[in-house]
Amino acid sequence: MGKQRDVLPIVEKFYSLQGEGFHSGLAAFFIRLAGCDVHCPFCDVKEAWSDHFPLLPVEELVAEIVSNKAKHVIVTGGEPCMHNLDLLCQNLQSLQIATHLETSGTHSLSGSWNWICLSPKKNTQVKEEFYLKANEIKVVVETPEDFAFAEQHAKKVNINCLLYLQPEWEQRQKIEPLIVAYIMQHPQWKISLQIHKYLNIR
């Protein structure tokens, strides 16, 4: 599995709007990297678990991003931290393009980030550096038990980290009213809706 800096395995790449968390609504170029060993049952990108995707030179990727109007790049997966992201971030930031990471925090961090979204997953160990550096945590809520899980992680993040609860898409009708009620009682949290799904865009 790649720890190379100059090529990355790409599942898909596209220019769209960020649908989740603090930057909801922001135009961004998405890079979905291959490989994930977390295997969440609710994962909606299970095809990204495998690492059998074409390796693309970072230079080529950056050239494509520049040819769009994107000023923000969101690196997601899979689990993007299974790869060395130093060169990608270096090249993007040198062009004044902001780098955003979406991670479960289970692998070591590489790259330089303007924004880190930590999305802790059950039965995994989040590495300490992610609690220190996360700009937001986003906890997917499937059942009422997940509020306690969210609070466990909220206790560990830095004081500036924003806190988001996001309804699991398939359970949203049942769980959304519980999230609304929870946030009204615990106003340090906000809701994150997957607005790209409501808009029927990628």
Closest residue (Cβ) to ligand SF4? 43
Q: CB neighbours of 63 closer than 8 A, spacing ≥ 6?
A: none
For the bound state, the minimum distance from the C-beta of residue 138 to ligand SF4, rounded and expressed in Å, comes to: 11
Residues near ligand SF4 (CB under 6 A), total: 12
Among 23, 72, 83, 121, binds ligand SF4 (CB under 6 A): 121
| CA-to-CA separations, 2 to 12, 35, 51, in angstroms, rounded | 17, 9, 9
Among 39, 122, 174, 202, binds ligand SF4 (CB under 6 A): 39
For the bound state, the minimum distance from the C-beta of residue 159 to ligand SF4, rounded and expressed in Å, comes to: 26
Does position 36 interact with ligand SF4 (CB under 6 A)? The reply is yes
For the bound state, the minimum distance from the C-beta of residue 181 to ligand SF4, rounded and expressed in Å, comes to: 25
Does position 77 interact with ligand SF4 (CB under 6 A)? The reply is yes
Q: Minimal CA–CA distance to 125: which of 106, 151, 109?
A: 106
Does position 78 interact with ligand SF4 (CB under 6 A)? The reply is yes
List residues near ligand SF4 by CB under 6 A. Answer: 36, 38-40, 43, 45, 48, 77-79, 104, 121
